[in-house]
Structure 1
Amino acid sequence: MPLTAIEQLPADQVVWGFPGAGGGFDQDDRLTGSLLPVVFFGTLDAYNHQTERGRAAREVFRGAGFRIGESSDFRGWLLVHFVQNAGLHTQTLRLGDMSKLTTQDVREAILATRELFPLLEARGVDLRRHRGELLPFTAPVRLAAPALALLVTRFPPTRRVMTAHANPEELRAVCRDTLAEARRLGVPAPRLEAAEPWFTETGRFKN
């Protein structure tokens, strides 16, 4: 929980943010990825106001040419991001490389993510507050799947993110934790459960 993570820190000195970026470390511990010109900031319902430090942080990024995204429910924003990754990894763990995703693979990833919406609600997330982030997964799948597949394979920054975001243990951990939470709360997640052999302790990327 975000507030638990900062309970030892002065609340007015904490700024919640997330980069518009992605990638990962390779076997030589070298970080590879892409940094997009956007930074996501947010507040929590318990502290739903911007502090002086928060405003200053935003101005620093604006001054450096970054666009600013805002969320008044940053905890929910993070959970949405987490389940989107879990849904995507049901396919990337099977393939061994995000950049290999086909339209059919993306379709299955979208459906796997949709199945996790009830898990978000069980965790107290109001999905209406995150329509923008969820749009690629709520739009008709016949339109969303080809569009996302094209973005992954043809847009160089996204392709670099997908190719570099390939630490198998990180991907497996996201899926394991999501499925464990779904089971704890009694939320069905059939596609994630079907992918479980790919993210067990002994699971391995496809050669």
Structure 2
Amino acid sequence: MRILFFGRGVITTQYAWAFEQAGHTVEFYVRKGRKETFGSSIDLEMWDARGGKKLIKESWNIKLHEEILPKYDLIIVSVNTEQLPEAAQFLSTAAGNTPVLIFNNIWQDLKSSIAPLSMSNVVFGFPGAGGGITENRLRGGFLKMVFLEKPREGTESINNKVKELFESAHFKISWVRDMQNWLWIHFAMNAAMEAEVLKRGSFPALMNHSDSFSTVGKHMREMTPLLNARGAKSDMILLLLTKIPPALLSILFNKVIFAKGSLARLFVEYNNSKAGFAVLEVVREAKKLGIPLPRLTVALESTEYYNAVENSIS
């Protein structure tokens, strides 16, 4: 299969490497000027957990393009949340009839988040990966599991194509019945963590404070009325983060989910992305609905995002 990845980010790069290892042709679309900046290779230091725990260290040659040609079987998009509308607008004309996998965190409703792309030509999924890129060096990794929405009417053939692709590279698919609900809750969880990152200063610092996840749980409890107002249904993640007492939640995250040496912890520690946008999106929505989020609002006060919240309601 010939696959085009939209952008050369940490998620796209890792899955592209895995697909190439499985015999597929992988290429990247990047914005004008980035091809020369990125160069023709990237240094990888990433953990592959598809069959055990294997560290990959190599300089990987990649093929970058600054235009999209009608020669691909699938386009995979995994970008920063704030970049998705622009990416969708561009692909609505540049991608032609090529099917698209949106492998992304999303807070808005799915249809409007990818407009003017057609829902019949798009499937939604979510990676089981993380990390960061600094000076052309990627540090991160990926798990065996990826999340993919169950087929909607009209997307059966695209879902099957995506399923065959991931399975050919020995990934396991967790099928999500209600992808909209799953992403709402996952985005809220991400906002809860980012609010704490804004307080601590970085993702690694989040991991190094034993009480960070008790606070994350408090943030999630604060957001529950907003999720309810949106019509979100409780799942195991939401119940875990809102029903377990914060002190016990802190122990669970620090000793089990993000235990020292675990890949989940390493993925967060390698994350050097800028935090705050997820918090902004959630607070904006809460302001519109008249739902107070004092904890998350305070987290934004010392950032550039705070004025965006104030301007959205002025």
- TM-score w.r.t. structure 2 length? 0.55
Match of 2:143 in 1: 36
Q: Structure 2 residue aligned with 1:152, among 258, 264, 276? A: 258
Offset at residue 138 of structure 1 (A): 3.0
Aligned counterparts of 2:190 and 2:183: Cα–Cα separation in 1 = 11
DSSP-derived class of the 2:128 partner: strand
Maintained 8 Å contact 2:122/2:155:
no
Q: Which has the higher strand share?
A: 2
Maintained 8 Å contact 1:99/1:153:
no
Match of 2:296 in 1: 192
Aligned counterparts of 2:288 and 2:136: Cα–Cα separation in 1 = 34
> Which residue identity lines up with residue 112 of structure 1 in the other structure?
H
**Structure with more relative contact order (C-alpha pairs < 8 Å, separation 6 or more):** 1
Identify unmatched segments of 5+ residues in structure 2. Answer: 1-108, 307-314
- Spell out, residue by residue over 1:144-188, the C-alpha distance to the aligned partner (whole angstroms, 9 max, x if none): 2111123335143112211122322xx122212221111111112
Offset at residue 23 of structure 1 (A): 2.3
The sequence identity of aligned pairs, in percent, is 28
Match of 1:108 in 2: 215
RMSD: 2.6
The answer on 1:87 being equivalent to 2:183 is no
Number of residues paired by the alignment?
195
Aligned counterparts of 1:135 and 1:39: Cα–Cα separation in 2 = 22
Residues 1:42 and 1:199: Cα distance change in structure 2 (over 3 Å) = farther
Residues 1:58 and 1:155: Cα distance change in structure 2 (over 3 Å) = farther
Identify unmatched segments of 5+ residues in structure 1. Answer: 203-207
Aligned counterparts of 2:305 and 2:297: Cα–Cα separation in 1 = 15
Aligned counterparts of 2:298 and 2:220: Cα–Cα separation in 1 = 13
Output aligned runs, 1:46-85, within 5 Å: 47=152, 51-85=156-190
Bigger radius of gyration? 2
Offset at residue 29 of structure 1 (A): 5.7
Maintained 8 Å contact 1:176/1:199:
no
- TM-score w.r.t. structure 1 length? 0.80
DSSP-derived class of the 1:68 partner: strand
